[in-house]
Copies of this chain bind each other. A is one copy, B any other.
Amino acid sequence: MIKNIPFSSITINDGFWKQKQKMVRENTVYAVYDRFQDTGRFAALECKWKEGDPDTAPHIYWDSDVAKWIEGVAYLTALEKCEELEKIADEAIENIIKNSDEHGYFNSHYLVTEQDKRFTNRMCHELYCAGHLIEAAVAYYDATGKDAFLKAMCRFADYIEQVFKVENSAAFTTPGHPELELALVRLYHATGEKRYLELSKYFIDEHGTNDKDITPEQKLQKDFPSYNQDEMPLRERVEVKGHCVRALYLLCGMADLALEYEDKELAAACERCFDNIVYKRMYITGGVGSTHAGETFTVDYHLPNRTAYAETCAAISLAMFAGRMQCLRTDGRFGDIVERVLYNGMLSGISMDGRSFFYENPLEIDPDFNDVTNPYWGKEHYPITQRKEVFDCSCCPPNLLRFISSVAGYLYSCDEDTVYIHQFMDSETDYQGMRITQKTKYPSEGEIQIHLYGDKKYVAIRIPGWCKDFSLDQPYELKDGYAYISLHGETQITLNLQMPVTMLAANRRVHDNAGRIAVMRGPVVYCLEGVDNGEDLRSIHIPEDAEFVLTDNEFMVPSLQTKGYRPAGSEQLYLPAKQCYEEISLRLIPYYAFANRGASEMLVWILQK
């Protein structure tokens, strides 16, 4: 069985992710905490709210926000202790434990508002919050050795098992917003208690099959809501539908169980869904979920850029899913997707200073046309143009915190014979007698020096899908996107990934990208921004033989310079097609760095002639 090597065995020493983790430790964790304090999310854990209080009651999903923050603190603590953060986390945890009821149940909304409504509304995120609390408890225990939170969450999980599986007495059978499924697998790993794994399996088996969640009549309706992932038994899935983050957290749970139970049917369903996403429903940034309407997947090849929803949490959960898939089957495409998300659609969610966030990650911004309708009569929906410090529904900021803090968990996996290198980060690893060191300036440069010591027979190094030309100074065999090298004691390997700037087209079915190209270098997608390149970015074209020069490192990887052509301005609205063009110098910056210098146009898909 292939298992990922935990992030806590890995130290990122230098380079890109060292900087990002520094940013998260110094800024993000405090910025998110401050805003959660302001908005009453921490105070809510005290469960003191009463009907008639001036503030509104704690929101149904607030616990999950705080839980992800605690989980993030746990990861930071595992890497380097911080008393200040641990103290805040301890207080929050103390409140959670103190206010859990006699069954172990905790939910800061239901405990103070509608005690008797507990487990009656499948849409109400109760089990979602429970899942995040469980993840936080496992992470906190792993990081600090303190087990009170973990024990409390075991009691909560036991209670959930009792109500949902033993008694089947709740108003619904499976979580409306998945998350608990994958959390229970973590809880099983942390405790060794197989009941938790079995409870997860119970939810996965029942999901989409249980008449209590959705009646057979409802399921037959043409307008059947797939939002909650109920359209069919999960093992029969051939495509992704409905709420994007729900779909992906559920797929993570499915992949976990496929691995634990060696369930080939479940694994096949996971891979069909993975294929559907990456071949037909994913932005080039790794963003997923094309529309704000229901935050859903839509249909194949529907990938509009200006109105892209591409929620930060959806990108993160796609990486989580792909990271699990690389344990189910060894194929470079899974690591490719993790990497695509890492350097693009996830990272765009956080500002360069780590203090503000995007919930939606469009691939095009046109500020002049972002607020075009009469406010009296409502407006069309467009993503905001600048990051915010907090949202009413603020799932993304703490998700970024926990994800970046533990990003090294995507680096390696291993089985009995082989260690798999999925990602490239300057780091050293010590895990079960195996030592791995990577020295690299990736993704600014493509050279990676790898040093291995241990008892594995092989190392399998992912050769990224974007790389058409690479060299290795050891004999290797290429298979399914990995270069396999035999190990004989201590081994030193130098991998060189050629990293030319490339232009990519989209499948012709992606109508929004017709006639346009995206620029990538290595795993990094680039964009034009108005602050560098002026107005009307959509009208600028670059030639088919465009050459790109690497310039400054303002945004951690090289910016690019090339020549473009902008049509002359005109007083006329419609004019003869033969236009005059002005040659202009264009600056492209990494997509993840857009909107750090004020609102201006932004464009990933550039016209090509």
The answer to whether A577 touches B608 (Cβ under 8 A) is: yes
Give the distance to chain B from A181, nearest Cβ to Cβ, in Å. Answer: 21
Verify if A536 is at the interface (C-beta below 8 Å from B).
yes
Interface residue ranges of A435-466 to B (CB < 8 Å): none
Query: When A and B form their complex, which 3 residue pairs have the shortest distance between CB atoms, in order from nearest?
Result: A294-B377, A225-B376, A503-B577
A608-B242 Cα distance, complex, nearest whole Å:
36
Tell me, yes or no, whether A514 is within 8 Å of chain B by CB: yes
Q: Indicate if A368 sits at the interface (CB-CB under 8 A).
A: yes
Q: How many angstroms between the C-alpha atoms of A535 and B507 in the bound complex?
A: 13
B-binding residues in A (CB < 8 A): 223, 225-227, 241-243, 278-280, 282, 284, 290-294, 296, 298-299, 301-302, 307, 366, 368-369, 372-381, 502-512, 514-518, 535-536, 538-539, 541, 544, 566-579, 607-609
Chain B, Cβ-Cβ closest to A228: B376
B residues less than 8 Å from A570 (CB atoms): 507-508
Q: List 10 A-B contacts (CB under 8 A).
A: A225-B377, A227-B377, A279-B571, A291-B380, A294-B373, A302-B368, A504-B575, A508-B536, A577-B608, A609-B609
Complex-state Cα separation, A225 to B291, whole angstroms:
28
**Cα A192 to Cα B149 with chains together (Å):** 89
> In the complex, what residues of B have CB within 8 A of residue A294's CB?
373-374, 376-378
Give the Cβ gap from A437 to chain B, nearest Cβ, in Å.
Answer: 33
Residues of B within 8 A of A381 (CB): 380
Interchain CA distance A535-B571 in the complex, whole Å: 35
Task: Select A572's contact among B279, B514, B541, B607, beta carbons within 8 Å.
Answer: B279
Give Cα distance in the complex from A233 to B440, angstroms: 67
A596 to B582, CA, bound (A): 42
Q: A278-B573, A503-B576, A503-B577 are in contact. List 15 more A-B contacts (CB 8 A).
A: A279-B573, A280-B573, A282-B573, A294-B374, A294-B376, A298-B369, A299-B372, A504-B576, A507-B575, A509-B536, A514-B607, A515-B516, A515-B541, A518-B574, A609-B609
Q: Are A374 and B518 in contact (CB under 8 A)?
A: no
Report the copy number of this chain in the oligomer: 2
Most buried by B among A381, A571, A572: A572
Which one of B376, B514, B607 lies within 8 Å of A539 (CB-CB)? B514
User: What CA separation (Å) do A535 and B508 show in the bound complex?
Assistant: 9
**Which chain B residue lies CB-closest to A279?**
B573
Q: How far is the CB of A17 from chain B (nearest CB, A)?
A: 25
Instruction: Identify the interface centre among A291, A294, A515, A573: most chain B CB within 10 Å of its CB.
Output: A573
Residue of B nearest to A579 (CB): B505
Residues from chain B with a CB closer than 8 A to the CB of A291 are 372-373, 380
| Given known contacts A508-B570, A511-B369, A578 and B544 CB-to-CB distance under 8 angstroms | yes
Closest to A510 in B: B573
Q: Is the CB of A368 within 8 A of B299?
A: yes
Q: When A227-B377, A298-B373, A369-B302 are in contact, do A505 and B293 touch as well, CB less than 8 Å?
A: no
Minimum CB–CB distance for A477 against chain B, Å = 25
B539 near A515: Cβ-Cβ < 8 Å:
yes
Q: Across the interface, name the chain B residue whose C-beta is closest to A466.
A: B574
Q: Which residues of B contact A607 (CB under 8 A)?
A: 514-515
Choose among B298, B569, B573 the residue that contacts A506 (Cβ–Cβ < 8 A): B573
Please state if A293 and B373 are interface contacts (CB–CB under 8 Å). yes
